[in-house]
Structure 1
Amino acid sequence: MAKDSKKSGRQAHLLSHLEQNHYVSIEEITALYGVTTQTARRDIMALEEQGKVRRLHGGATISTPVEPSVLRQRRVDNATAKERIGLLTAELIPDGSAVFIDTGTTCEAVARALVKRRDLRVVTYSLRVATTLSESTDFAIAVPGGFVRQVDGGVFREETAEYIRRFKFDVAIISVSGIDHEGDIGDDDHAEVAAVSAAMAQAGRVILAVDSSKFGRRALVRLASLRDIHTLVTETLPPEPLLGRLHRSNVQIHT
Protein backbone atom coordinates (compact mmCIF):
# COMPACT_ATOMS: atom_id res chain seq x y z
CA MET A 1 0.00 0.00 0.00
CA ALA A 2 2.87 2.34 0.90
CA LYS A 3 4.47 1.54 -2.44
CA ASP A 4 1.29 2.51 -4.30
CA SER A 5 1.03 5.70 -2.27
CA LYS A 6 4.62 6.58 -3.10
CA LYS A 7 3.99 5.93 -6.80
CA SER A 8 0.81 8.04 -6.82
CA GLY A 9 2.61 10.89 -5.06
CA ARG A 10 5.50 10.74 -7.52
CA GLN A 11 3.19 10.77 -10.53
CA ALA A 12 1.20 13.69 -9.10
CA HIS A 13 4.43 15.65 -8.59
CA LEU A 14 5.58 14.70 -12.09
CA LEU A 15 2.32 16.02 -13.53
CA SER A 16 2.75 19.28 -11.61
CA HIS A 17 6.30 19.54 -12.96
CA LEU A 18 5.00 19.06 -16.50
CA GLU A 19 2.30 21.67 -16.08
CA GLN A 20 5.03 24.19 -15.24
CA ASN A 21 7.70 23.09 -17.71
CA HIS A 22 5.61 21.48 -20.49
CA TYR A 23 8.27 18.82 -21.22
CA VAL A 24 10.37 16.40 -19.19
CA SER A 25 12.91 13.82 -20.35
CA ILE A 26 13.37 10.29 -18.99
CA GLU A 27 16.77 11.36 -17.66
CA GLU A 28 15.20 14.27 -15.76
CA ILE A 29 12.64 11.97 -14.15
CA THR A 30 15.30 9.53 -12.98
CA ALA A 31 17.33 12.41 -11.51
CA LEU A 32 14.34 14.15 -9.90
CA TYR A 33 12.92 11.08 -8.18
CA GLY A 34 15.87 8.69 -7.93
CA VAL A 35 14.13 5.97 -9.96
CA THR A 36 15.22 3.72 -12.80
CA THR A 37 14.51 4.53 -16.46
CA GLN A 38 12.03 1.64 -16.48
CA THR A 39 10.09 3.18 -13.59
CA ALA A 40 10.21 6.60 -15.28
CA ARG A 41 8.72 5.11 -18.45
CA ARG A 42 6.01 3.29 -16.47
CA ASP A 43 5.05 6.55 -14.76
CA ILE A 44 4.74 8.28 -18.12
CA MET A 45 2.69 5.41 -19.55
CA ALA A 46 0.35 5.48 -16.55
CA LEU A 47 -0.22 9.23 -16.92
CA GLU A 48 -0.73 8.82 -20.66
CA GLU A 49 -3.41 6.17 -20.08
CA GLN A 50 -5.19 8.73 -17.89
CA GLY A 51 -5.05 11.21 -20.78
CA LYS A 52 -2.88 13.64 -18.80
CA VAL A 53 0.39 13.46 -20.76
CA ARG A 54 1.65 12.41 -24.18
CA ARG A 55 4.77 10.37 -24.64
CA LEU A 56 7.47 11.69 -26.92
CA HIS A 57 10.76 10.13 -27.93
CA GLY A 58 12.88 10.28 -24.79
CA GLY A 59 10.29 11.96 -22.57
CA ALA A 60 6.78 13.35 -22.28
CA THR A 61 4.79 16.53 -22.71
CA ILE A 62 1.67 17.80 -21.00
CA SER A 63 -1.48 16.60 -22.77
CA THR A 64 -3.04 20.04 -23.29
CA PRO A 65 -0.48 22.83 -22.71
CA VAL A 66 -2.98 25.41 -23.96
CA GLU A 67 -6.27 25.90 -22.14
CA PRO A 68 -9.15 24.16 -23.99
CA SER A 69 -11.11 27.41 -23.89
CA VAL A 70 -8.28 29.10 -25.80
CA LEU A 71 -8.24 26.37 -28.41
CA ARG A 72 -12.02 26.59 -28.80
CA GLN A 73 -11.80 30.35 -29.24
CA ARG A 74 -9.26 29.85 -32.03
CA ARG A 75 -11.91 27.88 -33.91
CA VAL A 76 -13.98 31.03 -34.37
CA ASP A 77 -11.30 33.73 -34.47
CA ASN A 78 -10.68 35.16 -37.97
CA ALA A 79 -12.90 32.47 -39.53
CA THR A 80 -13.46 34.42 -42.75
CA ALA A 81 -9.75 35.05 -43.21
CA LYS A 82 -9.00 31.36 -42.65
CA GLU A 83 -11.50 30.34 -45.32
CA ARG A 84 -9.80 32.67 -47.82
CA ILE A 85 -6.40 31.31 -46.83
CA GLY A 86 -7.72 27.78 -47.31
CA LEU A 87 -8.95 28.53 -50.83
CA LEU A 88 -5.69 30.19 -51.85
CA THR A 89 -3.57 27.39 -50.40
CA ALA A 90 -5.57 24.75 -52.24
CA GLU A 91 -4.87 26.54 -55.52
CA LEU A 92 -1.15 25.95 -54.95
CA ILE A 93 -1.51 22.16 -54.68
CA PRO A 94 -1.26 20.26 -58.00
CA ASP A 95 -3.50 17.26 -58.58
CA GLY A 96 -1.78 13.98 -57.75
CA SER A 97 0.42 15.47 -55.01
CA ALA A 98 1.58 13.75 -51.85
CA VAL A 99 0.60 16.18 -49.09
CA PHE A 100 1.10 16.49 -45.35
CA ILE A 101 -1.55 18.58 -43.59
CA ASP A 102 -1.07 19.97 -40.08
CA THR A 103 -3.81 20.21 -37.46
CA GLY A 104 -5.72 23.37 -36.48
CA THR A 105 -8.55 25.51 -37.77
CA THR A 106 -6.60 27.04 -40.66
CA CYS A 107 -5.57 23.62 -41.94
CA GLU A 108 -9.17 22.46 -41.59
CA ALA A 109 -10.12 25.33 -43.91
CA VAL A 110 -7.41 24.15 -46.32
CA ALA A 111 -8.88 20.65 -46.22
CA ARG A 112 -12.35 21.95 -47.09
CA ALA A 113 -10.89 23.70 -50.12
CA LEU A 114 -8.78 20.72 -51.18
CA VAL A 115 -11.87 18.63 -51.98
CA LYS A 116 -11.76 20.24 -55.44
CA ARG A 117 -8.34 18.70 -56.16
CA ARG A 118 -7.92 15.23 -57.62
CA ASP A 119 -5.89 12.14 -56.72
CA LEU A 120 -4.17 13.54 -53.65
CA ARG A 121 -2.33 11.32 -51.19
CA VAL A 122 -2.63 12.84 -47.73
CA VAL A 123 -0.98 12.23 -44.37
CA THR A 124 -2.37 14.11 -41.38
CA TYR A 125 -2.58 13.72 -37.61
CA SER A 126 -5.84 15.72 -37.55
CA LEU A 127 -9.01 13.64 -37.41
CA ARG A 128 -11.00 16.71 -38.47
CA VAL A 129 -8.90 17.08 -41.63
CA ALA A 130 -9.08 13.35 -42.34
CA THR A 131 -12.86 13.28 -41.85
CA THR A 132 -13.42 16.27 -44.13
CA LEU A 133 -11.41 14.69 -46.92
CA SER A 134 -12.68 11.14 -46.48
CA GLU A 135 -16.33 12.24 -46.65
CA SER A 136 -15.93 14.29 -49.84
CA THR A 137 -13.09 12.71 -51.85
CA ASP A 138 -11.50 9.42 -52.82
CA PHE A 139 -8.02 10.56 -51.72
CA ALA A 140 -5.65 8.07 -50.13
CA ILE A 141 -5.50 9.25 -46.49
CA ALA A 142 -3.13 8.06 -43.75
CA VAL A 143 -3.51 8.90 -40.05
CA PRO A 144 -1.25 7.74 -37.19
CA GLY A 145 -2.75 5.89 -34.25
CA GLY A 146 -2.77 7.31 -30.75
CA PHE A 147 -4.72 9.38 -28.26
CA VAL A 148 -7.17 11.97 -29.60
CA ARG A 149 -7.12 15.53 -28.25
CA GLN A 150 -10.85 16.12 -28.23
CA VAL A 151 -10.74 19.89 -28.46
CA ASP A 152 -9.18 19.86 -31.95
CA GLY A 153 -9.09 16.21 -33.07
CA GLY A 154 -5.30 15.96 -33.05
CA VAL A 155 -3.93 12.39 -32.74
CA PHE A 156 -0.74 11.92 -30.73
CA ARG A 157 1.45 9.21 -29.31
CA GLU A 158 5.17 8.70 -28.81
CA GLU A 159 5.65 7.26 -32.30
CA THR A 160 3.71 9.93 -34.25
CA ALA A 161 6.79 11.74 -35.56
CA GLU A 162 8.43 8.43 -36.53
CA TYR A 163 5.27 7.42 -38.39
CA ILE A 164 5.32 10.65 -40.40
CA ARG A 165 9.01 10.16 -41.26
CA ARG A 166 8.07 7.03 -43.24
CA PHE A 167 6.51 9.20 -45.96
CA LYS A 168 7.81 11.58 -48.62
CA PHE A 169 5.76 14.66 -49.45
CA ASP A 170 5.59 16.96 -52.42
CA VAL A 171 4.12 19.59 -50.11
CA ALA A 172 3.78 20.04 -46.36
CA ILE A 173 1.00 22.44 -45.35
CA ILE A 174 1.57 23.72 -41.83
CA SER A 175 0.12 26.30 -39.49
CA VAL A 176 1.62 27.68 -36.27
CA SER A 177 0.72 29.62 -33.15
CA GLY A 178 3.14 32.44 -33.85
CA ILE A 179 5.81 34.03 -36.04
CA ASP A 180 7.99 36.34 -33.95
CA HIS A 181 9.87 39.40 -35.15
CA GLU A 182 13.16 37.44 -35.15
CA GLY A 183 11.78 35.20 -37.88
CA ASP A 184 11.20 32.11 -35.73
CA ILE A 185 7.98 30.15 -36.12
CA GLY A 186 6.60 28.04 -33.32
CA ASP A 187 3.75 26.35 -31.56
CA ASP A 188 2.60 25.85 -27.99
CA ASP A 189 2.89 22.06 -27.98
CA HIS A 190 6.03 19.88 -28.06
CA ALA A 191 4.16 16.97 -29.66
CA GLU A 192 2.86 19.12 -32.53
CA VAL A 193 6.30 20.57 -33.13
CA ALA A 194 7.83 17.08 -33.26
CA ALA A 195 5.23 15.88 -35.78
CA VAL A 196 5.48 18.95 -38.01
CA SER A 197 9.30 18.95 -37.90
CA ALA A 198 9.27 15.38 -39.18
CA ALA A 199 6.94 16.33 -42.04
CA MET A 200 8.98 19.39 -43.03
CA ALA A 201 12.12 17.27 -43.25
CA GLN A 202 10.36 14.95 -45.71
CA ALA A 203 8.78 17.64 -47.91
CA GLY A 204 9.96 19.15 -51.16
CA ARG A 205 8.04 22.35 -50.41
CA VAL A 206 6.67 23.82 -47.18
CA ILE A 207 3.61 26.09 -47.21
CA LEU A 208 2.91 28.07 -44.06
CA ALA A 209 -0.78 29.00 -43.87
CA VAL A 210 -1.55 31.51 -41.11
CA ASP A 211 -3.82 34.48 -40.53
CA SER A 212 -2.40 37.86 -39.56
CA SER A 213 -3.11 37.41 -35.83
CA LYS A 214 -0.02 35.15 -35.71
CA PHE A 215 2.37 37.90 -36.87
CA GLY A 216 4.67 39.13 -34.12
CA ARG A 217 3.48 36.47 -31.67
CA ARG A 218 6.09 34.40 -29.82
CA ALA A 219 5.05 30.77 -29.35
CA LEU A 220 6.21 28.51 -26.56
CA VAL A 221 8.14 25.95 -28.63
CA ARG A 222 10.34 26.87 -31.60
CA LEU A 223 9.61 24.88 -34.75
CA ALA A 224 11.81 26.44 -37.42
CA SER A 225 12.81 29.75 -38.97
CA LEU A 226 11.42 31.52 -42.00
CA ARG A 227 14.41 30.20 -43.97
CA ASP A 228 12.82 26.75 -43.70
CA ILE A 229 9.59 27.94 -45.35
CA HIS A 230 9.03 28.22 -49.10
CA THR A 231 5.60 29.88 -49.23
CA LEU A 232 3.51 31.97 -46.86
CA VAL A 233 -0.25 32.15 -47.44
CA THR A 234 -2.10 34.79 -45.42
CA GLU A 235 -4.91 37.33 -45.81
CA THR A 236 -2.77 40.47 -45.51
CA LEU A 237 0.88 41.40 -45.70
CA PRO A 238 2.73 41.27 -42.37
CA PRO A 239 4.23 44.48 -40.96
CA GLU A 240 7.90 45.35 -40.81
CA PRO A 241 10.33 44.07 -39.68
CA LEU A 242 8.71 40.69 -40.33
CA LEU A 243 8.01 41.50 -43.97
CA GLY A 244 11.67 42.31 -44.53
CA ARG A 245 12.73 39.02 -42.96
CA LEU A 246 10.35 37.15 -45.26
CA HIS A 247 11.87 38.82 -48.32
CA ARG A 248 15.45 38.15 -47.14
CA SER A 249 14.51 34.51 -46.54
CA ASN A 250 13.18 34.27 -50.13
CA VAL A 251 9.72 33.25 -48.94
CA GLN A 252 7.00 33.60 -51.59
CA ILE A 253 4.02 35.48 -50.16
CA HIS A 254 0.47 34.87 -51.36
CA THR A 255 -2.34 37.10 -50.08
Structure 2
Amino acid sequence: MTQITLSPRQSEILAAARRDGAASISALAASLGVSLETVRRDIRPLVEDGHLVKTHGTVHLPEHGREAPFDRRMRENAAEKRRIARHVAARIADGDSIMMDTGTTTSILARELSARRELTIVTNSSDVARTLATVNGNKVFMAGGELHGDNGAAFGRTAIDFVARFRVRHAIISIGAIDARMGPMDYLLEEAEFARTVLSCGASRIVATDHTKFERTALVKVCDFDGFDLLVTDRPPPVEIAEAIAAAGARWEVAEG
Protein backbone atom coordinates (compact mmCIF):
# COMPACT_ATOMS: atom_id res chain seq x y z
CA MET A 1 0.00 0.00 0.00
CA THR A 2 1.42 3.37 -1.00
CA GLN A 3 1.03 6.58 0.91
CA ILE A 4 -1.06 9.27 -0.80
CA THR A 5 -2.11 12.67 0.41
CA LEU A 6 -5.79 12.35 1.32
CA SER A 7 -8.34 15.03 0.66
CA PRO A 8 -10.86 15.78 3.45
CA ARG A 9 -13.52 13.76 1.61
CA GLN A 10 -11.19 10.82 1.11
CA SER A 11 -10.39 10.86 4.85
CA GLU A 12 -14.12 10.80 5.59
CA ILE A 13 -14.65 7.90 3.17
CA LEU A 14 -11.92 5.88 4.89
CA ALA A 15 -13.38 6.72 8.31
CA ALA A 16 -16.80 5.46 7.21
CA ALA A 17 -15.29 2.21 5.92
CA ARG A 18 -13.44 1.71 9.21
CA ARG A 19 -16.54 2.50 11.22
CA ASP A 20 -18.93 0.05 9.55
CA GLY A 21 -16.58 -2.40 7.87
CA ALA A 22 -18.13 -1.40 4.52
CA ALA A 23 -19.81 1.67 3.06
CA SER A 24 -22.11 1.96 0.07
CA ILE A 25 -21.15 4.50 -2.56
CA SER A 26 -24.68 5.92 -2.66
CA ALA A 27 -24.74 6.39 1.13
CA LEU A 28 -21.34 8.08 1.00
CA ALA A 29 -22.58 10.48 -1.68
CA ALA A 30 -25.64 11.36 0.41
CA SER A 31 -23.71 11.87 3.64
CA LEU A 32 -21.01 13.94 1.94
CA GLY A 33 -23.51 15.99 -0.07
CA VAL A 34 -21.87 15.29 -3.43
CA SER A 35 -22.71 13.34 -6.58
CA LEU A 36 -22.11 9.64 -7.11
CA GLU A 37 -19.53 10.49 -9.76
CA THR A 38 -17.63 12.73 -7.34
CA VAL A 39 -17.48 9.94 -4.77
CA ARG A 40 -16.33 7.48 -7.43
CA ARG A 41 -13.53 9.88 -8.41
CA ASP A 42 -12.49 10.17 -4.75
CA ILE A 43 -12.56 6.40 -4.31
CA ARG A 44 -10.62 5.51 -7.47
CA PRO A 45 -7.12 6.45 -6.21
CA LEU A 46 -7.86 4.87 -2.82
CA VAL A 47 -8.64 1.59 -4.58
CA GLU A 48 -5.68 1.87 -6.95
CA ASP A 49 -3.29 2.45 -4.05
CA GLY A 50 -4.69 -0.41 -1.97
CA HIS A 51 -6.41 1.59 0.76
CA LEU A 52 -9.87 0.30 -0.20
CA VAL A 53 -11.47 -2.61 -2.04
CA LYS A 54 -14.52 -1.89 -4.26
CA THR A 55 -17.21 -4.52 -4.84
CA HIS A 56 -20.80 -4.22 -6.08
CA GLY A 57 -21.40 -0.58 -5.22
CA THR A 58 -19.65 -0.70 -1.85
CA VAL A 59 -16.14 -0.14 -0.56
CA HIS A 60 -14.35 -1.77 2.36
CA LEU A 61 -10.89 -1.98 3.78
CA PRO A 62 -8.53 -4.75 2.70
CA GLU A 63 -9.01 -7.78 4.91
CA HIS A 64 -5.73 -7.21 6.76
CA GLY A 65 -6.87 -3.73 7.84
CA ARG A 66 -10.65 -3.98 7.85
CA GLU A 67 -12.39 -2.97 11.05
CA ALA A 68 -13.88 -5.88 12.93
CA PRO A 69 -17.62 -6.48 13.02
CA PHE A 70 -19.71 -5.32 15.96
CA ASP A 71 -19.12 -8.43 18.08
CA ARG A 72 -15.35 -8.00 17.85
CA ARG A 73 -15.59 -4.27 18.53
CA MET A 74 -17.36 -5.22 21.76
CA ARG A 75 -14.05 -6.69 22.90
CA GLU A 76 -11.97 -3.61 22.06
CA ASN A 77 -11.23 -1.58 25.20
CA ALA A 78 -13.70 -3.91 26.89
CA ALA A 79 -12.45 -3.34 30.45
CA GLU A 80 -12.74 0.44 30.05
CA LYS A 81 -16.20 0.16 28.53
CA ARG A 82 -17.36 -2.08 31.38
CA ARG A 83 -16.15 0.47 33.93
CA ILE A 84 -18.05 3.20 32.10
CA ALA A 85 -21.15 1.01 31.88
CA ARG A 86 -21.05 0.16 35.59
CA HIS A 87 -20.66 3.85 36.46
CA VAL A 88 -23.68 4.80 34.35
CA ALA A 89 -25.70 1.82 35.61
CA ALA A 90 -25.19 3.01 39.20
CA ARG A 91 -27.29 6.07 38.35
CA ILE A 92 -30.24 3.95 37.21
CA ALA A 93 -32.78 2.61 39.69
CA ASP A 94 -35.51 0.00 39.44
CA GLY A 95 -38.49 1.42 37.60
CA ASP A 96 -36.52 4.07 35.68
CA SER A 97 -37.12 4.90 32.02
CA ILE A 98 -34.10 4.87 29.70
CA MET A 99 -33.46 5.62 26.04
CA MET A 100 -30.27 4.27 24.44
CA ASP A 101 -28.82 4.36 20.96
CA THR A 102 -26.71 1.61 19.44
CA GLY A 103 -23.04 1.20 20.27
CA THR A 104 -20.67 -1.16 22.00
CA THR A 105 -20.71 0.86 25.23
CA THR A 106 -24.51 0.99 25.36
CA SER A 107 -24.69 -2.74 24.61
CA ILE A 108 -22.37 -3.40 27.55
CA LEU A 109 -24.50 -1.04 29.65
CA ALA A 110 -27.56 -3.14 28.82
CA ARG A 111 -25.81 -6.17 30.30
CA GLU A 112 -24.92 -4.19 33.43
CA LEU A 113 -28.63 -3.38 33.83
CA SER A 114 -29.72 -7.02 33.72
CA ALA A 115 -30.32 -7.09 37.49
CA ARG A 116 -32.59 -4.00 37.47
CA ARG A 117 -36.34 -4.50 37.63
CA GLU A 118 -39.31 -2.92 35.89
CA LEU A 119 -37.26 -0.72 33.60
CA THR A 120 -38.78 0.95 30.57
CA ILE A 121 -36.29 0.94 27.71
CA VAL A 122 -36.59 2.72 24.37
CA THR A 123 -33.90 1.84 21.82
CA ASN A 124 -33.05 1.31 18.18
CA SER A 125 -30.59 -1.46 19.08
CA SER A 126 -31.75 -5.04 18.63
CA ASP A 127 -28.90 -6.13 20.93
CA VAL A 128 -30.08 -3.85 23.76
CA ALA A 129 -33.68 -4.93 23.19
CA ARG A 130 -32.81 -8.65 23.30
CA THR A 131 -30.73 -8.22 26.43
CA LEU A 132 -33.38 -6.44 28.48
CA ALA A 133 -36.73 -7.59 27.08
CA THR A 134 -38.96 -10.16 28.80
CA VAL A 135 -36.96 -10.20 32.06
CA ASN A 136 -37.56 -8.69 35.50
CA GLY A 137 -40.80 -7.03 34.45
CA ASN A 138 -39.06 -4.73 31.97
CA LYS A 139 -40.86 -3.06 29.08
CA VAL A 140 -38.89 -2.52 25.88
CA PHE A 141 -39.94 -0.30 22.98
CA MET A 142 -37.93 -1.03 19.84
CA ALA A 143 -37.75 1.55 17.07
CA GLY A 144 -38.50 0.31 13.58
CA GLY A 145 -36.75 1.22 10.35
CA GLU A 146 -33.96 -0.04 8.14
CA LEU A 147 -31.62 -2.34 10.07
CA HIS A 148 -27.86 -2.05 9.69
CA GLY A 149 -26.38 -5.46 9.13
CA ASP A 150 -23.29 -4.91 11.28
CA ASN A 151 -24.89 -3.70 14.51
CA GLY A 152 -28.51 -4.75 14.03
CA ALA A 153 -29.87 -1.27 14.74
CA ALA A 154 -32.71 0.63 13.10
CA PHE A 155 -32.16 4.04 11.57
CA GLY A 156 -33.98 6.54 9.41
CA ARG A 157 -37.00 8.80 9.75
CA THR A 158 -39.27 6.02 11.01
CA ALA A 159 -36.94 5.24 13.92
CA ILE A 160 -36.46 8.93 14.79
CA ASP A 161 -40.18 9.70 14.70
CA PHE A 162 -40.88 6.70 16.94
CA VAL A 163 -38.45 7.52 19.74
CA ALA A 164 -39.25 11.25 19.60
CA ARG A 165 -42.68 10.44 21.10
CA PHE A 166 -41.11 9.37 24.41
CA ARG A 167 -39.83 11.32 27.39
CA VAL A 168 -37.49 9.34 29.63
CA ARG A 169 -35.53 9.91 32.80
CA HIS A 170 -32.15 8.91 31.30
CA ALA A 171 -31.10 9.44 27.67
CA ILE A 172 -27.77 7.71 26.97
CA ILE A 173 -25.69 7.69 23.81
CA SER A 174 -22.27 6.50 22.73
CA ILE A 175 -20.26 8.40 20.13
CA GLY A 176 -17.54 7.90 17.55
CA ALA A 177 -15.51 11.03 18.31
CA ILE A 178 -15.40 14.13 20.49
CA ASP A 179 -13.64 17.27 19.28
CA ALA A 180 -12.90 20.32 21.42
CA ARG A 181 -14.34 22.65 18.80
CA MET A 182 -17.20 20.61 17.34
CA GLY A 183 -18.32 18.54 20.32
CA PRO A 184 -19.59 14.94 20.13
CA MET A 185 -19.51 13.55 16.58
CA ASP A 186 -20.24 10.36 14.66
CA TYR A 187 -19.22 8.90 11.33
CA LEU A 188 -22.65 8.34 9.77
CA LEU A 189 -25.37 10.92 9.29
CA GLU A 190 -28.18 8.61 10.36
CA GLU A 191 -26.39 7.58 13.58
CA ALA A 192 -25.68 11.20 14.50
CA GLU A 193 -29.28 12.23 13.82
CA PHE A 194 -30.62 9.39 15.94
CA ALA A 195 -28.23 10.14 18.82
CA ARG A 196 -29.25 13.82 18.74
CA THR A 197 -32.90 12.81 18.99
CA VAL A 198 -32.17 10.49 21.92
CA LEU A 199 -30.56 13.32 23.88
CA SER A 200 -33.57 15.56 23.26
CA CYS A 201 -35.85 13.01 24.95
CA GLY A 202 -34.15 12.72 28.36
CA ALA A 203 -34.36 14.62 31.62
CA SER A 204 -30.78 13.42 32.25
CA ARG A 205 -28.62 13.41 29.10
CA ILE A 206 -25.52 11.22 29.25
CA VAL A 207 -22.71 10.63 26.76
CA ALA A 208 -20.78 7.44 27.53
CA THR A 209 -17.48 7.02 25.71
CA ASP A 210 -13.95 5.77 26.31
CA HIS A 211 -10.84 7.93 26.03
CA THR A 212 -9.92 6.73 22.53
CA LYS A 213 -12.68 8.98 21.14
CA PHE A 214 -11.09 12.15 22.51
CA GLU A 215 -9.59 14.62 20.04
CA ARG A 216 -11.00 12.72 17.10
CA THR A 217 -13.05 14.37 14.38
CA ALA A 218 -15.77 12.41 12.61
CA LEU A 219 -18.05 13.30 9.72
CA VAL A 220 -21.21 14.53 11.46
CA LYS A 221 -21.75 16.64 14.55
CA VAL A 222 -24.16 15.14 17.08
CA CYS A 223 -24.65 18.17 19.34
CA ASP A 224 -22.93 21.09 21.02
CA PHE A 225 -21.39 20.66 24.45
CA ASP A 226 -24.58 22.05 26.00
CA GLY A 227 -26.51 19.23 24.34
CA PHE A 228 -25.67 16.83 27.17
CA ASP A 229 -25.45 17.03 30.95
CA LEU A 230 -22.80 14.45 31.76
CA LEU A 231 -19.89 12.78 29.99
CA VAL A 232 -18.84 9.46 31.55
CA THR A 233 -15.44 8.17 30.45
CA ASP A 234 -12.49 6.13 31.68
CA ARG A 235 -9.83 8.88 31.74
CA PRO A 236 -9.97 12.64 32.31
CA PRO A 237 -10.63 14.40 29.00
CA PRO A 238 -7.94 16.62 27.46
CA VAL A 239 -7.86 20.16 28.81
CA GLU A 240 -9.57 21.80 25.84
CA ILE A 241 -12.44 19.31 25.91
CA ALA A 242 -12.79 19.59 29.70
CA GLU A 243 -12.91 23.38 29.42
CA ALA A 244 -15.53 23.23 26.67
CA ILE A 245 -17.68 20.92 28.79
CA ALA A 246 -17.44 23.23 31.82
CA ALA A 247 -18.15 26.36 29.75
CA ALA A 248 -21.36 24.73 28.48
CA GLY A 249 -22.53 23.98 32.04
CA ALA A 250 -22.07 20.23 31.67
CA ARG A 251 -19.95 17.84 33.74
CA TRP A 252 -17.64 14.90 33.22
CA GLU A 253 -16.94 11.94 35.48
CA VAL A 254 -14.28 9.25 35.32
CA ALA A 255 -15.45 5.70 35.92
CA GLU A 256 -13.15 4.16 38.49
CA GLY A 257 -12.06 0.54 38.41
Asked whether the equivalents of residues 25 and 59 of structure 2 are also in contact (C-alpha less than 8 Å), the reply is: no
Determine helix, strand or coil for the equivalent of 2:199.
helix
Determine helix, strand or coil for the equivalent of 2:117.
coil
Q: Deviations over 1:59-88 (max 9, x none)?
A: xxx9x9987943525333211100111111
Determine helix, strand or coil for the equivalent of 2:239.
coil
What residue in structure 2 maps to residue 126 of structure 1? 125
Q: Percent identity?
A: 28
Using the size of structure 2 for normalisation, the TM-score is 0.72
* AA aligned opposite 2:241: L
Instruction: Summarize the Cα distance change of 1:234–1:167 in structure 2 as closer, same or farther, 3 Å threshold.
Output: same
Determine helix, strand or coil for the equivalent of 1:216.
coil
What residue in structure 1 maps to residue 253 of structure 2? 254
Structure 2 CA distance for aligned equivalents of residues 203 and 85 of structure 1: 19
Structure 2: unaligned runs, 5 residues or longer: 1-23, 37-55
What residue in structure 1 maps to residue 4 of structure 2? none
Instruction: Summarize the Cα distance change of 1:71–1:185 in structure 2 as closer, same or farther, 3 Å threshold.
Output: farther
Following TM superposition, by how much is the alpha carbon of 1:195 offset from its aligned partner in structure 2, in angstroms?
1.7
Structure 2 CA distance for aligned equivalents of residues 198 and 137 of structure 1: 27
Asked whether the equivalents of residues 100 and 173 of structure 2 are also in contact (C-alpha less than 8 Å), the reply is: yes
What residue in structure 1 maps to residue 52 of structure 2? none
Instruction: Summarize the Cα distance change of 1:71–1:244 in structure 2 as closer, same or farther, 3 Å threshold.
Output: farther
Structure 1 CA distance for aligned equivalents of residues 166 and 81 of structure 2: 27
Following TM superposition, by how much is the alpha carbon of 1:91 offset from its aligned partner in structure 2, in angstroms?
0.5
* 1:94 matches 2:96: no
Which of 19, 22, 28 aligns to 2:31? It is 22
Q: Deviations over 1:227-246 (max 9, x none)?
A: 11111111111111112222
Structure 2 CA distance for aligned equivalents of residues 19 and 128 of structure 1: 26
* AA aligned opposite 1:19: L
What residue in structure 2 maps to residue 231 of structure 1? 230
Using the size of structure 1 for normalisation, the TM-score is 0.73
Q: Deviations over 1:121-154 (max 9, x none)?
A: 1000000111111264331000022232121111
* 1:70 matches 2:79: no
Asked whether the equivalents of residues 185 and 222 of structure 2 are also in contact (C-alpha less than 8 Å), the reply is: yes
* 1:216 matches 2:212: no
Determine helix, strand or coil for the equivalent of 2:184.
strand
Following TM superposition, by how much is the alpha carbon of 1:169 offset from its aligned partner in structure 2, in angstroms?
1.1
* AA aligned opposite 1:70: E
* 1:152 matches 2:147: no
What residue in structure 2 maps to residue 5 of structure 1? none
* AA aligned opposite 1:118: R
What residue in structure 1 maps to residue 167 of structure 2? 168
* AA aligned opposite 2:121: V
Instruction: Summarize the Cα distance change of 1:157–1:86 in structure 2 as closer, same or farther, 3 Å threshold.
Output: same
Aligned-residue RMSD, C-alpha: 2.7
| Worse overlay, 245-254 or 217-226 | 245-254
Instruction: Summarize the Cα distance change of 1:150–1:80 in structure 2 as closer, same or farther, 3 Å threshold.
Output: same
Asked whether the equivalents of residues 65 and 188 of structure 1 are also in contact (C-alpha less than 8 Å), the reply is: no
Asked whether the equivalents of residues 19 and 65 of structure 1 are also in contact (C-alpha less than 8 Å), the reply is: no
- More helix by proportion, 1 or 2? 1
Instruction: Summarize the Cα distance change of 1:209–1:131 in structure 2 as closer, same or farther, 3 Å threshold.
Output: same
Structure 2 CA distance for aligned equivalents of residues 120 and 198 of structure 1: 20
What residue in structure 2 maps to residue 244 of structure 1? 243
Asked whether the equivalents of residues 83 and 234 of structure 2 are also in contact (C-alpha less than 8 Å), the reply is: yes
Instruction: Summarize the Cα distance change of 1:65–1:71 in structure 2 as closer, same or farther, 3 Å threshold.
Output: farther
What residue in structure 2 maps to residue 45 of structure 1? none
Structure 2 CA distance for aligned equivalents of residues 231 and 74 of structure 1: 24
Determine helix, strand or coil for the equivalent of 1:112.
helix
Determine helix, strand or coil for the equivalent of 2:132.
helix
Asked whether the equivalents of residues 180 and 241 of structure 2 are also in contact (C-alpha less than 8 Å), the reply is: yes
